[in-house]
């Protein structure tokens, strides 16, 4: 791909370092460096109430690695639309997909100015494949599809990835509508790959409420049944919609479940 210009000063000026930010806190929990003191303080406070949160963060990334490997490998899909990218850490979608299939094409989508600042790190690619980044909002799925169609061929299967992002849509029916509208643009044989945190642990609910009270963008913990409804009309791959560590764990491991549920499903 052609080199992209550096993010403009307007984008950088939109980075608010006075309020904690979920992508930066998630980066902190996973050992990253792209965070500020306000994020570390919020992350520590969250961990004090819900000590399992770092395990959940790392389990979610391990789940991404396993699902992308499965989709690119066993299912043979070569196109990935990863919405709600977050900050690059280790084994990002393009790295995993192109490790399996070097000709994979990946489009990342986010509307966060800090992610935009790091877009150059995301835009690495094998010579055979493509990696691109779109600055767009999850709540405008038609605009996302229109922009992504310049890179992805929507007449061929696409893996739609919504990893830990739907909880930021506070209205549940709006979240379901977004999923339906994105899925409608995908051809038969495409995949829906997803996870979100659940409301199944009292400590996690308390910690999340404390985080939401800081003025940061809230994240809604939902029931496993609500999360399962995102998959309606799709053919869910075994073992189903489960706690992420239990989704096709590595042989010889004995993972413990966490309060993050997800799955992989194919569009008929």
Please report which confidence band the pLDDT of residue 14 belongs to, taking 50, 70 and 90 as the band edges: low
Strand partners, 107: 81, 132
What span, in angstroms and rounded, lies between the C-alpha atoms of 63 and 169?
A: 22
What span, in angstroms and rounded, lies between the C-alpha atoms of 214 and 16?
A: 13
Q: What is the dihedral of CA 107, 110, 114, 119, to 10 degrees?
A: 10
Mean pLDDT (the chain, rounded):
91
Q: Is the peptide bond before 239 cis (omega within 30 degrees of 0)?
A: yes
DSSP 199: S
Q: What are phi and psi of 164, to 5 degrees?
A: 70, 25
Whether 125 shows a pLDDT value over 70: the answer reads yes
For the chain, give the longest Cα–Cα distance: 50
DSSP 236: E
Give the residue with greater pLDDT, 83 vs 90. Answer: 83
The proportion of the chain whose per-residue pLDDT surpasses 70, expressed as a percent, equals 95
> Residue 41 is encoded by which pair of tokens?
């303080």
Residues 6 or more apart whose CB falls under 8 angstroms from that of 189 comprise 77, 157, 266, 267
Would the pTM count as exceeding 0.85?
Answer: yes
- pLDDT tens-place string over residues 144-202: 999 999 999 999 999 999 999 999 999 999 999 999 999 999 999 999 999 999 999 99
pLDDT, residue 96, reads 98
The proportion of the chain whose per-residue pLDDT surpasses 90, expressed as a percent, equals 71
**Where does 166-254 have alpha helices with state H?**
172-184, 202-212, 224-229
- pLDDT tens-place string over residues 203-218: 999 999 998 888 888 9
Average pLDDT over residues 104-113: 93
Please report which confidence band the pLDDT of residue 2 belongs to, taking 50, 70 and 90 as the band edges: very low
Q: Where are the beta strands (DSSP E) in the chain?
A: 79-83, 105-110, 130-135, 159-163, 191-197, 235-236, 242-243, 260-266
Residues 6 or more apart whose CB falls under 8 angstroms from that of 72 comprise 78, 96, 97, 100, 101, 104
> Residue 246 is encoded by which pair of tokens?
């239990």
Helix (H), strand (E) at residue 76: none
pLDDT, residue 216, reads 81
CA-closest candidate to residue 264, choices 67, 109, 112, 8:
67
Strand partners, 263: 194
pLDDT, residue 84, reads 93
Whether 15 shows a pLDDT value over 80: the answer reads no
Residue spans of the domains in the chain: they are: 55-201+222-267
Domain covering 55-201+222-267, topology: Rossmann fold (3.40.50)
Whether 6 shows a pLDDT value over 60: the answer reads no
Whether 11 shows a pLDDT value over 70: the answer reads no
Q: What's the 3-state SS for 28-47?
A: HHCCCCCCCHHHHHHHHHHH
Give the residue with greater pLDDT, 64 vs 14. Answer: 64
């Amino acid at each position: 791909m052609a080199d992209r210009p550096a993010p403009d000063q307007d984008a950088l000026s939109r980075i608010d370092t006075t309020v904690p930010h979920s992508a930066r806190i998630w980066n902190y929990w996973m050992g990253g460096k792209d965070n500020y003191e306000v994020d570390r303080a919020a992350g520590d406070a969250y961990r004090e109430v819900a000590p399992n949160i770092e395990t959940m963060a790392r389990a979610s990334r391990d789940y991404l690695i396993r699902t992308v490997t499965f989709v690119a490998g066993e299912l043979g899909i070569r196109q990935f639309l990863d919405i709600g990218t977050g900050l690059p850490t280790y084994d990002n979608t393009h790295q995993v997909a192109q490790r399996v299939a070097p000709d994979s094409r990946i489009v990342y989508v986010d509307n966060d100015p800090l992610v935009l600042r790091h877009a150059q790190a995301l835009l690495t690619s094998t010579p055979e494949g493509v990696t691109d980044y779109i600055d767009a909002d999850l709540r405008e799925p038609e605009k996302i599809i229109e922009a992504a169609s310049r890179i992805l061929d929507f007449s061929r299967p696409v893996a739609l990835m919504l990893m830990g992002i739907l909880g930021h849509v506070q209205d549940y029916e709006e979240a379901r509508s977004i999923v339906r509208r994105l899925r409608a643009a995908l051809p038969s044989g495409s995949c829906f790959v997803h996870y979100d945190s659940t409301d199944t642990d009292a400590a996690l609910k308390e910690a999340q409420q404390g985080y939401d009270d800081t003025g940061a963008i809230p994240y809604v913990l939902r029931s496993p049944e609500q999360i399962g409804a995102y998959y309606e009309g799709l053919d869910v791959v075994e073992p189903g919609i489960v706690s992420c560590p239990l989704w096709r764990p590595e042989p010889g491991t004995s993972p413990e479940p966490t309060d993050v549920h997800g799955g992989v499903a194919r569009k008929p």
